[in-house]
Chains A and B, each alone.
Chain A
Amino acid sequence: MLRSDVSPDRALRPHEDQGTRPTTVPDGPDDAPPTDADDLVRLVSATGERLTDPVHDPWVQDVDDDALVALYEDMVVVRRFDIEAVALQRQGQLGLWPPLLGQEAAQVGSARALRRDDFVFSSYRENGVAYCRGADPTDLVRVWRGTALSGWDPWAIGMATPQIVVGAQSLHATGYAIGCRLDGADAVSVAYVGDGATSQGDVHEAMVFAASASAPVVFFCQNNQWAISEPVGLVARRPLADRAPGYGIPGVRVDGNDVLAVLAVTRAAVDRARRGEGPTFVEAVTYRMGPHTTSDDPTRYVDVDTPAQWAARDPLLRVERLLESRGALSEDRSGEIKEKAESFAHQVREGCLGLAVPDALSLFDHVLVTPSPVVERQRDEYAAYLAMYEEVER
């Protein structure tokens, strides 16, 4: 159920303002939560009030109550199955899981701004994006159970296999975008990176190439404040979005816990790319409420008060409040959403437990598209090697 983008009146040209937004300069490390008084793009306050923003409102003027409820539903489902996956890891059913708790709005809002023929290049945490792109419940956990090298068919859902190498996907996205332009297509690509990845050379190179080629790519940075255990302030003296103008790319900071604002900003960025005006860097300021992965223990490095402060800015809570104040979320609909979330989580669990251990030799099946004598020889040798064990066991 992907929604196509709806471009508002282009005469407004909101993107032209984005590159020159004034930004504050923090005094060194600053992982305190934003306030509603800061300069982030924000359409819904933490308390659930709809704020007016003449620049960004037009991008979401089509989002009526039903559409907002749909976004809310996405976030509820995403949160629920993400939590289920953490439980599955704790029960020994997944090798590892990178929780996205707290980043639902950033992922859902941005993913829902894309067209089906757009292409996502993500890191490993964008399971909410994958859900919005149409990954099925089992697909979300295959790789983390170690039964497949890729959870889904990238072409089927317009989303590449999650990139484990930090930041490398930004180059892939840029290359894909340049390809779109050369093909004369108006599809765009989106590179999802984290705040930590912005310190990587790959991201720098990707932005240089993207700006140089005016590639139709959006760099969507979820600044969740933590590069594993390093706070973003350690590597960024200024807001991450401020780096973009140095490449000749407009940068915009958006409240990453405001799904409506994220949708608006991403739509603007995608539209700009689609019109051939080049890349945009979006910094969605959010917070990773859980550990980096299930192998991590954030209580060792996170100040105990910080998550509580961010919890007050919870992405689901504020939409809930807004819908309540409008009377737009009936009890029935709310129950339906809860049921859908439970059902999806259940499907994730059942799908995970039902995954078969693959045949060892299937490892070689998708190395190359066409048959290769080298790969075939390696497969034969590996088969012979495995046969040695079978002989010993007999």
Chain B
Amino acid sequence: MTAQTTVQTVTLPDLGEGLTESDVVAWLVAVGDTVTLNQVVAEVETAKALVDLPSPYAGVVEALLVEPGTTVPVGGALLTIAVEDRSASAVEHGSPPSGAASDSAPSPSGPASDAAPSPSGAASAADAPTDDAPTVGEPAGAEPGAEVPAPERTSVLVGYGPLVEGSARPHRRPRAASWLAAHATTGNGHGVDRAVAVAEHPEAPATHPRPTPPVRKLAHDLGVNLDLVEGTGDDGRITRDDVLHALSSRRPGAPAPSSERPGAPTSPASRPSSTHRTTAAAAAPRSSASTTAGHAGDVRTPITGVRRQTAAAMVASAFTAPHASVHLTLDVTATTDLLADLRADRALAGHRLTFLTLVAKAVTLALGGHPALHARWDDAAQEIVQPAHVGLGIAAATPRGLLVPVVHDADLLRLPALADALTALTEAARAGTSTPADLAGGTFTITNIGVFGVDGGVPILVPGQSGILAVGQVRRQPWAHDDGVALRDVLTLTMSFDHRVVDGEQAARFLADVGAVLARPGAVLAMV
């Protein structure tokens, strides 16, 4: 006699507090195995802990859907179990689940071997499903087989997990690596996220103390893999200088830490393993700069979508562009007045006009007179590329990090269309629906740091671009006006530029033109 079964899919729950994914370390059951409720079916490693995963169903394993070692997102399917249609609601409970790390605790109630469902019992139950339906304390309408809506999850913080340290556990992913992996997808207007790749070294236990948080932050910001840095501090702790040294030794043209050149004569005394290394150096000339551990544990992740766009931009690292900057503080009361006028204009109703819209317009106008500010240094071709039209990048703070959506052909757009494009792109970026095309093709970027309540700051170029303008907050303050002092709307503009492409004079004139438009919007009449 065959009992009716339903195939249930077991998905990965949030095993910690607000985790987004976990790694399946090992399966403890195989296809065809009979599992009881709460029987441990897999070992799963989260960012916080290695945990046993108990089965939420009693039944027969139909399929294991992922290979060990796979990273599964929360909610992702793990395995399927064929569940007899009423067996899950029976009083029997299978073996009591083992508490985490409780293996050594003796079980007071003894082995619950009697709880395994007997075939005859199951068959007779299927014949007469109502006979033994009343069970102890079972609430009406709460059949476990029924779909229970998952609760809206919010993080509950009762304490916290321990810091992720290097340990003897072989498959622990370094926290910095996963953090970077999660963030490497975001294009970054400020060039904060310069990490190109992070080698993973799961096999190499940490033998030195963890670097201090500021040093870890610095290494992260500079894209330096701490696993590859030799610490010179107390007990081999990695210091700020070590990180900076590691960075400078990686940059082209900077002196490498081991100064031997491939093929150059070397003293055997200073290089005990010279025979071996000469061969290696001849085969791979650049490897001599790498003085630290090997790359055996590297993890390869396919580059796709947004990540591909980001990577392409990052290849031309911001370090290759010598930055210089110019500043301008000016009275923009005329522009704020104009903005109020435009907003009151019924013809423009429905378009979201902001101060930033007018700055964007001013920038596209000024770029018309100074196209070099959005030209591009093509190092490979040894050419300077002048785009036909302006791809205006707007740095947007989003839940995913900093994204730079681009208004394509911004110089061709009239003010209402420009306003609409800005609104649509920034909303898409914040909603996480930006397409790769939205994020590519920028030729000049505006970063509106004023919304965070600061007056100014020196931005770092989006790799591949030659100019970036930081717009400070509009501050009502006393200002020289009409031979007196009046309360005026005052703004600071700060622009960084790639000095390979643009000279200081061009940059200054460009910024002055942007300022001129904002100080006297009427002057536009003279420019068009």
Contacts and interface: CB of A to CB of B under 8 A. Distances in A.
Given A95-B17, A228-B162, A295-B15, 4 more contacts: A82-B99, A86-B99, A338-B110, A343-B136
A91 B17 contact: no
Across the A-B interface, give the 8 residue pairs with the lowest CB-CB distance, nearest first: A92-B13, A297-B49, A354-B142, A87-B97, A316-B108, A347-B137, A91-B56, A343-B136
Interface string A282-305: 000000011111111111111000
Interface of B: 11-17, 38, 48-56, 91, 93, 96-102, 104-106, 108-110, 112, 115, 135-139, 141-142, 144, 148-156, 158-162, 165, 167
B141 A354 contact: yes
Given A90-B15, A92-B14, A295 B99 contact: no
28 contacts: A84-B38, A90-B13, A91-B55, A93-B56, A95-B14, A96-B156, A96-B158, A99-B100, A101-B105, A144-B156, A146-B152, A164-B156, A289-B99, A289-B102, A290-B99, A293-B159, A296-B48, A297-B48, A302-B101, A308-B104, A311-B104, A337-B109, A342-B112, A343-B137, A345-B96, A346-B136, A350-B138, A350-B142
A296 B161 contact: yes
Interface residues of A, number: 65
Interface string A80-113: 1011101101111101101101100000000000
Given A87-B38, A346-B91, A354-B142, A79 B156 contact: no
Contact of B159 (A296, A320, A353, A355): A296
Contacts of B99: 82-83, 86, 99, 101, 289-290
A308 B51 CA distance: 19
A296 B49 contact: yes
A351 interface: yes
A190 interface: no
Nearest to B39: A87
Contacts of B13: 89-93
A90 B106 contact: no
Given A146-B152, A292-B159, A346 B109 contact: no
Given A296-B48, A296-B162, A350-B137, A80 B156 contact: no
Given A90-B52, A338-B109, A343 B100 contact: no
B167 A300 contact: yes
With most chain A CB atoms within 10 A of its CB, the pick from B52, B108, B136 is B108
A137 B138 CA distance: 11
B158 A307 contact: no
A124 interface: yes
Contacts of B50: 297, 299
A302 B167 CA distance: 13
Contact of A342 (B91, B104, B161): B91
Interface of A: 75-76, 79-80, 82-84, 86-87, 89-93, 95-96, 98-99, 101-102, 124, 137, 144-147, 164, 228-229, 289-302, 307-308, 311, 314, 316-317, 320, 337-338, 341-343, 345-347, 349-351, 353-355, 357
Contacts of A292: 158-159
B108 A75 contact: yes
Contacts of A302: 101
Contacts of A355: 151
A297 B12 CA distance: 18
Contact of B101 (A90, A298, A357): A298
Contacts of B93: 342, 345-346
A291 to B, nearest CB: 5
A293 B136 CA distance: 29
Contact of B156 (A146, A229, A311): A146
A338 B99 CA distance: 17
Contact of A346 (B55, B104, B138): B138
A100 to B, nearest CB: 9
Contact of A124 (B91, B148, B150, B158): B158
A337 B108 CA distance: 11
Contacts of A345: 93, 96
Given A92-B11, A96-B156, A291-B101, A300 B162 contact: yes
Nearest to B11: A92
Contacts of B109: 76, 80, 337-338, 341
A82 B154 CA distance: 22
B102 A83 contact: yes
A297 B91 CA distance: 32
A290 to B, nearest CB: 5
A82 B105 CA distance: 14
A91 B88 CA distance: 15
Contacts of A137: 137
B161 to A, nearest CB: 5
Contact of A83 (B48, B51, B97, B139): B97
A45 B76 CA distance: 49
B97 A84 contact: yes
Contacts of B162: 228-229, 296-297, 300-301
Contact of A91 (B48, B54, B100, B105): B54
Given A345-B93, A346-B138, A101 B102 contact: yes
With most chain A CB atoms within 10 A of its CB, the pick from B56, B100, B154 is B100
